[in-house]
Amino acid sequence: MNLKSQNPQFDTDFFSALNHTLRRQALLSLLERGPLCVCHLTERLGASQPTISRQMAILREKGLVGSFRKGQWIYYDLARELPGWARAILDTLRETRPDIQNQSLHFAQNLCPGQDPPHLLFLCTQNACRSQIAFGWARALGGARVEVRSAGTHPHPEGVNPLAVSVMHARGIDLSGQSSTPVDASLLQWANLVVTVCGEADESCPVLPPGVQKEHWPIPDPDRIHGSSREIFLAFARTCDDIETRVRDLLKRLGIEILDTTLPSPATN
């Protein structure tokens, strides 16, 4: 594949976008789904509307996406002028699950037998839902083979979301004693791997100490769902299941044997 074009600046902008988590995920979403408005991208990527709008404006300025108005909404799509080689690279990234970053694989390869258990820090904005659920799953499935903490860039003053506690309780995991914790330098020094589970946390993640790895999981915020009590609860349940799958995959990639658990099946009523 010829990766050189007649526009070196475009090449630089394209590969720079691929190295930015949110911009890369936006490009892949447009490749997979076609034109999307900011509201769709916000839900799909788990970032705030201002954050998405800012990143899409950058992509449009660089000529990587185009936009058009449909009613009151602005829709974005991959630029018509996007070279074939660039689309081929995006196709390859889509096929290799771009939401799973290479950092944790690199981290796993550097673990030595007999080394202390890896330290995982799950980070989101409020430390009230997604990072707490990830903490619960990692602790339940990894046991003593991994040490886990969670924190937030702007912790929620009321602590863990009751619906997060409820859906995890239905799966046999108790989060009732958890509280929202602010991320600080000591936590970052403690961690081997930081996993951001929302777009805002990925954008505002502090500079990590040398040797600390990071990966990002673009998980939509279930607390933003509007609907009946049942619909909202089911949104939290889907988030819980999504995070369980991601945690299992992470532990597997880190070479950590998953505990044989007898966790109950979630209630469906």
Q: Report the greatest alpha carbon distance in the chain.
A: 60
Half-sphere exposure of 184 (CA within 13 A, CB side): 4
Order of all β-strands in the sheet with 213-216: 147-152, 119-124, 193-196, 213-216
In this structure, what token pair is assigned to residue 198? 């929302």
Q: Which of 37, 124, 129, 240 is catalytic?
A: 124
E strand residue ranges, 125-189: 147-152
Q: Is 240 a catalytic residue?
A: no
Q: Which of 37, 129, 198, 240 is catalytic?
A: 198
In this structure, what token pair is assigned to residue 229? 């009590």
Q: Which of 37, 112, 129, 205 is catalytic?
A: 205
Q: Name the 3-class secondary structure at 123.
A: strand
Contacts of residue 108, Cβ cutoff 8 Å, sequence gap at least 6? 253, 254, 255
Q: Is 112 a catalytic residue?
A: no
Q: Is 129 a catalytic residue?
A: no
**How many other C-beta atoms lie within 10 A of the C-beta of residue 37?**
18
- Name the phi and psi angles at 6, rounded to 5: -85, 5
Q: Which residue from 269, 259, 268 is spatially nearest to 173, judged by alpha carbons?
A: 259
* Alpha-carbon gap, residue 197 to 161, rounded angstroms: 16
Q: List active site positions.
A: 124, 198, 205
